[in-house]
Amino acid sequence: MNAPLATIRTQDDLIEALRVAKTMRGLSNDFCDQRAGLTRGHTDKVLGPTRAKSLSPMVFDLLMEIFAVELILVPNPEAEARMRPRWEDRDTSNVRTGEHRVSKHVIERAKPHVLREHLKKANAARNSQLSCEQRSEIARKGGRARQRNRRKNMRQRLAERKAAKVLEASL
């Protein structure tokens, strides 16, 4: 295993370590921008002295690959000694141990996207089994149903407007 290039405890340490890796490889900012597919000057805005842009996860991944480095986390005994009293007094009721489950909220947010993908595949499979005339008939029925719904919604909106005008006139 190679010797570590840097010890990283803060984001500033991380940026400095990436600068060291870039210098060690003899890479220019322009080369990094081209290789990573970034806009011209992006690497300088992330690693330069002004740090006009923050280090996004995507840019982090790209720079780690270009510089051919990896981030290895090891326990810090000094920090562990400082944090141990705080860890012991914490509420562990919300700590996930063992198998990690996906929260109900995340599942509810993902459900429409997953269903949409499954429906696309199911419709493609069904359509491959139908003749041209059958697909045409299904599309025609769908069009009629959409028109029916539009007319129904328009009638409801007109009735609501009429009721609002009558209410306004009575005031």
Q: How many residues does the chain have?
A: 171
pTM for the model stands at 0.53
DSSP H helical ranges for the chain: 11-25, 29-36, 42-47, 57-67, 77-88, 104-129, 132-170
Residue of 62, 68, 69 lying closest to 32 (CA atoms): 62
Burial bucket for residue 7 (CB in 10 Å: 0-12, 13-18, 19+): exposed
Helix (H, G, I), strand (E, B) or coil at 16: helix
10 Å CB burial of residue 45 (0-12, 13-18, 19+) is middle
Residues 43, 49 contacting (CB under 8 angstroms): no
Q: What is the pLDDT along the chain (171 residues), one digit of tens a residue?
A: 578 888 898 999 999 999 999 999 999 999 999 999 999 999 999 999 999 999 999 999 999 999 999 999 999 999 999 999 988 888 877 777 777 777 888 889 999 999 999 999 998 999 899 999 999 999 999 999 999 999 999 999 999 999 999 988 887
